[in-house]
Amino acid sequence: MPPTREERFAGSLFGLALGDAIGAPYEGGPLSGFLWQLIGAGERGKLRWTDDTQMTMVLTEHLGARSVPDPDVLAREWANAMESRRGYGPGSRRLLTRIASGEDWRDVNRSIWPEGSMGNGAAMRAAPFGLRWSEDREARSRWVYETSRITHAHPLGIDGAHLIADAVSRALHAEESAPDFLEALAEETQSRPFVEKLRQAVRWGADPVTPARAAAELGCSVLALESVPAALYAGARFAERRDFDGMMRFIIAMGGDVDTIGAMAGSVFGARCGVGALPPERLVELEAKTRLEAAAIALYKRSAQ
């Protein structure tokens, strides 16, 4: 039996949190992994997630509570929820600190780089838009844009977020092979640099390329242009086999921004396979499950209205 729509919503958000939490100790090499274990925020003894889940949870709650997002309110909610020991990107941390102290996001979002950030920080939190507006591309696209630029004004940062939202909404319905799924996303996106990366993965077809090759050809850094295609490839390939553990082993072996690639891939995996395909022994260890579940249910109800 294919998963219900409600199971897919929960699957996408829990898949994101699990991918993030399982990947976190591997991000940025052994030293930062060790530091995360030692001084990272979160509930001790649990599988602790990072900024990816933190921002996605706040966004999910925001979307569940209203018919359309309010970017000014959302910017303050993100800023107030920021815990610096959750592993935020350096640019985002600085911007959110300034927003928390009362500055308007429009005055700060290009203050570090003139074009804004092209990190993957907007893409990592874009899954809820794919769930909320899975049938309405225009609304999905509009709200991804209006909220991504709060912290990520660079076109590549925003394009990466569109792709993750589109991939999650497609995964809710599609039962395609990984190459067909990636090709459909390439056809939908207007962003040339992303199209090239996606087509690279499409050309591999059903070949099980190694993590080292995927990392070398797609990239796996904090830049959206690298980690978004890598996550879409891993998510699509392993969702076909309902193999979440295999997906995480592959992502850990690729290296780089492991937690965020895990989060993005996990959100696509969960939207396609449902919460029942996530490893139960890891799910019980996850921190803040009740809050995440409530947020998923509210978003589901809102999108069903």
Say whether residue 287 binds Mg ion (CB under 5 A): no
Q: Is residue 54 a contact residue for Mg ion (CB under 5 A)? A: no
- Asked if 57 interacts with ligand AR6 (CB under 6 A), we say no
Rounded CA separation 194/181 (Å): 14
Q: Considering only 31-39, 50-58, 185-193, 209-217, which stretch makes contact with ligand AR6 by CB under 6 A?
A: 50-58
- Sign (positive/negative) of CA torsion 244, 137, 222, 84? negative
* Nearest CB to Mg ion, comparing residues 109 and 260: 260
Out of 259, 266, 270, 296, the residue judged to bind Mg ion by CB under 5 A: 259
CB 278 within 8 A of CB 13: no
Compute the distance between CA of residue 168 and CA of residue 163 in angstroms, rounded to an integer.
9
Specify the stretch interacting with ligand AR6 by CB under 6 A; choose among 47-55, 62-70, 195-203, 270-278.
47-55
Residue selected from 60, 92, 134, 148 as contacting ligand AR6 according to rule CB under 6 A: 92
Q: At what angle do helices 224-239 and 178-188 cross, to 10 degrees?
A: 140
What is the Cα–Cα distance from 24 to 267, expressed in whole angstroms?
16
Find the binder of Mg ion among 54, 56, 134, 260 (CB under 5 A): 260
Say whether residue 115 binds ligand AR6 (CB under 6 A).
yes
Nearer to ligand AR6, 27 or 61 (CB): 27
**3 state SS of 223:** strand
Task: Name the one range near ligand AR6 by CB under 6 A: 120-128, 188-196, 207-215, 264-272.
Answer: 120-128
The CB density around residue 253, as the number of other CB atoms within 10 Å, is 14
Question: Exposure pattern of 44-69 as b/e (b: 16+ CB <10 Å)?
Answer: eeebbbbbbbbbbbbbbbbbbeeeeb
β-strand partners of 123: none
- Regarding 119 and contact with ligand AR6 (CB under 6 A), the answer is yes
Reference 211, options 258, 167, 179, 260; nearest CA is 258
Give the angle subtended at the CA of 174 by the CAs of 168 and 176, to the nearest 5°: 115
186 versus 232: smaller Cβ distance to Mg ion: 232
CB of 62 to ligand AR6, least distance (A): 18
Q: Considering only residues 91, 128, 160, 262, which one is a binding residue for ligand AR6 as defined by CB under 6 A?
A: 91
**Is 7 among the residues that bind Mg ion (CB under 5 A)?**
no
Backbone angles phi, psi at 223, to 5 degrees: -75, 135
Per rule CB under 6 A, is residue 260 in the interface with ligand AR6?
yes
Closer to Mg ion by Cβ: residue 63 or 224:
224
> Using CB under 5 A as the criterion, which residues of the chain lie in contact with Mg ion when the complex forms?
259-260
> Using CB under 6 A as the criterion, which residues of the chain lie in contact with ligand AR6 when the complex forms?
50-52, 87-92, 113, 115, 117-121, 124, 154, 222-223, 257, 260
